[in-house]
Amino acid sequence: MPKKLNKKGKPMVHEELKGFDITVNEFGQMESNFNVNKLNGFLNENVEDKKISDEQLDKMEEE
């Protein structure tokens, strides 16, 4: 459930995700109007992975 709604009743989203819409069809499959690779790129840049520690990240960057 979105925490903040704008005046039109739509959730507030990041500028890069304007127009993003996702639904689940009758077969349980997710359908989106955004390319999956674009979404993954956005998430990789803007969301911290809580499962990976800072030490693991440092080791990955060294390799």
Q: Are 32 and 26 in contact (CB under 8 A)?
A: no
- Give the model's pLDDT for residue 35: 87
2 pLDDT more than 60? no
Report the predicted TM-score, pTM, of the whole model to 2 decimal places.
0.54
Our CA dihedral for 39, 40, 41, 47, rounded to 10 degrees, sits at 100
The per-residue pLDDT for range 4-57, each reduced to its tens digit, is: 666 677 777 788 888 888 889 999 999 989 888 988 888 888 888 777 777 777
Q: Residue 50: its pLDDT value, please?
A: 76
In terms of Cα–Cα distance, which of 18, 6, 8, 7 is closest to 42? 18
